[in-house]
Structure 1
Amino acid sequence: MAQVTFKEKPVTLMGNEVTVGSNAPDFTVLANDLSEVNFSDYKGKVRLISVVPSIDTGVCDQQTRKFNEEAANLGNIEILTISADLPFAQKRWCAAAGIDNVQVLSDHRDLDFGKKYGVAIEELRLLSRSIFVVDSSDTVVYAEYVSEVTNHPNYEAAIEAAKSAN
């Protein structure tokens, strides 16, 4: 399991680590209108999953904006940003930030995504910063568990993995 810290203190990640070459687990999260969204809804497409602890924080804001900007260059790649924030907060933040090229989804209800991808932080009920790229046949082709939750992920590596999988 990935060793992760939050503000330099170790945290416990619930679930199983997802590794490159494994089949991407299906999961259910909520859209900003409270409708259920299943990962399988995007079947047959390359998907980049950007995981942030809280959309309202500096690094999470920058990470989401970065992938929103990159979406135009990535063509037919679905970009999903997932956090444990309430859907209402996500909707408000997206409207204020002008986020319209990525799907921002909530794992608040039952941490289904967080537990299936091994990113749910037990002590905080937040998701640990991470990036996953899944190809059109549902194989994980890139997985990054950021070792310090307050740090940025490797944007370039994730973007290259998504482009290569397309």
Structure 2
Amino acid sequence: MSRSGAVTFKGNPVTLAGEAVAVGQAAPAISLSYVKDGFKTLTLDELKGKPTLLSVVPSLDTGVCAIQTKKFNEKLAGMGDSVNAVTVSLDLPFAQGRFCGAEGITNMRVGSDYRDRAFGNQWGTLIEELLILCRAVFVLDGEGKVKHAEYVSEVTSEPDYDAALAALKG
């Protein structure tokens, strides 16, 4: 299934692969690559037990994506290890790690969907025309149920930080 015109990229309607994730449903599977002591895979099971913020961006190498990651990192500073927070992109894990080191990102993990774009397809965030992820934010409760879902209508715009953080804290 595809969702034509679900969001815009620089004002142009684009198609998102897969179905939209809705509040109240069980979270789809997660299988993201990251670099820590070698290549690892981050799964939904590893995130269960704590509320989780999933911040989805097209690429950490762009201005708005960097702003989004830095803002969430800053706003999560007071929450410590009571929550999980993951920035998801198609950037290679090495590039994600460099970005986090250079920008002082310490309150979020990064996960890459570069291998098979399974996250993008299962979470309805893959832009078919560009083969990048759209901008989106999801919040899961400790059992893996979706509490908040935002597909940012214009990919080049920032998400609603306050709504996502309220869902994370609530």
Give the TM-score range, shorter chain.
Answer: over 0.9
1:90 and 1:104 in contact (8 A); partners too:
yes
- Alignment partner of 1:108 out of 105, 114, 117: 114
1:84 and 1:125 in contact (8 A); partners too:
no
Partner of 1:3: 6
Matched, 1:70 2:75: yes
Query: Could you tell me how far apart the structure 2 residues matched to 1:37 and 1:134 are?
Result: 15
**What TM-score does the superposition give when structure 1 sets the normalisation length?**
0.94
Cα shift at 1:34:
2.6
Matched, 1:86 2:89: no
Alignment gaps of 5+ in structure 1: none
Superposed structure 1 runs of 4+ greater than 4 Å apart: none
Cα shift at 1:73:
2.3
Cα shift at 1:40:
1.4
CA RMSD of aligned residues (A): 1.2
Q: Tell me the number of residue pairs that the alignment of Structure 1 and Structure 2 aligns.
A: 164
Post-superposition Cα deviations, 1:61-95, rounded to whole Å, max 9, x if no partner, equal 01000111112223411111000111111111111
Q: Which moved more, 1:121-130 or 1:69-78?
A: 69-78
Query: Could you tell me how far apart the structure 2 residues matched to 1:47 and 1:3 are?
Result: 24
Partner of 1:44: 49
Partner of 2:40: 35
Partner SS state of residue 111, structure 2: strand
Partner of 1:61: 66
Alignment of 1:3-22 (within 5 A): 3-22=6-25
1:48 and 1:133 in contact (8 A); partners too:
yes
Cα shift at 1:36:
1.3
Greater share of residues in strand = 2
Query: Could you tell me how far apart the structure 2 residues matched to 1:163 and 1:73 are?
Result: 11
Alignment gaps of 5+ in structure 2: none
2:33 and 2:93 in contact (8 A); partners too:
yes
2:44 and 2:144 in contact (8 A); partners too:
no
Query: Could you tell me how far apart the structure 2 residues matched to 1:22 and 1:95 are?
Result: 34
**What TM-score does the superposition give when structure 2 sets the normalisation length?**
0.92
Query: Could you tell me how far apart the structure 2 residues matched to 1:30 and 1:3 are?
Result: 27
Query: Could you tell me how far apart the structure 1 residues matched to 2:138 and 2:64 are?
Result: 17
2:86 and 2:108 in contact (8 A); partners too:
yes
1:19 and 1:140 in contact (8 A); partners too:
yes
